[in-house]
Amino acid sequence: MAINLSKGQRISLEKAAPGLKQIFIGLGWDINVTDTGGDFDIDASLFLVDSNEKLISDQHFIFYNNQISPDPEQSIKQLGDNRTGAGDGDDEIIDVNLKTVPTDIDKVIVTVTIHEADKRQQNFGQVSNAFVRIVNAENEQEVIRYDLTEDFSVETALIMAELYRKDGEWRMNAVGAGCEGGLQALVDRYQK
């Protein structure tokens, strides 16, 4: 039985699923019936940051053009770019091996942005049923889920959740914060 979080709630992954090692982060959404002249291309991105919430290096920014973390174990992998969000279930998936994530990565910030949102006159107010979930990759059981319920009428970038270390264990924070400026606004926020 998955644990459903509300905005701002935090939970230990160890308490939610003792012994959890390999997970995938599933992100999904539906597009409201609108005519903006183009498909919605929503992209998941990860910012692998240090204790100052800054990118460790440019290679620690995981997105459609850099899908694998730079550590030798390749502990974090984005599995492709869904360009339409069509279909049920997860639209984008990120694999994470919690046991091999290097210790210099203090936090994994999970975000979604709308590609060319300004050009296409699109925002997250035109998106519904957005969610992020943590799934045990070994048995494919959903462990934690966070469904966004807010109306983001002008925002083109969302910080969905954070995975972070505390007291030697991984935890999840359901963030649900939006901002304008798309992916560049997030890059500016987390770059050194």
Kindly give the confidence (pLDDT) of every residue in the chain, 192 residues in length, as a single tens digit, with 9 standing for 90 and above. Answer: 789 999 999 999 999 999 999 999 998 888 776 655 567 788 899 999 999 999 999 999 999 899 999 999 999 999 865 544 455 678 889 999 999 999 999 999 999 998 888 888 888 888 888 889 999 999 999 999 999 888 788 888 999 999 999 998 999 999 999 998 989 999 999 998
CA-based nearest residue to 10, from 149, 130, 169: 169
User: Taking the complete model, does pTM exceed 0.85, yes or no?
Assistant: yes
Site of tokens 């290096």: 57
pLDDT at residue 70, rounded to an integer:
97
Tokens linked to 38: 């183009």
Q: Distance between CA atoms of 22 and 16, rounded to whole angstroms?
A: 14
In order of 72, 84, 98, 112, the CA distances from 68 in angstroms are 10, 22, 14, 17
pLDDT for 37: 58
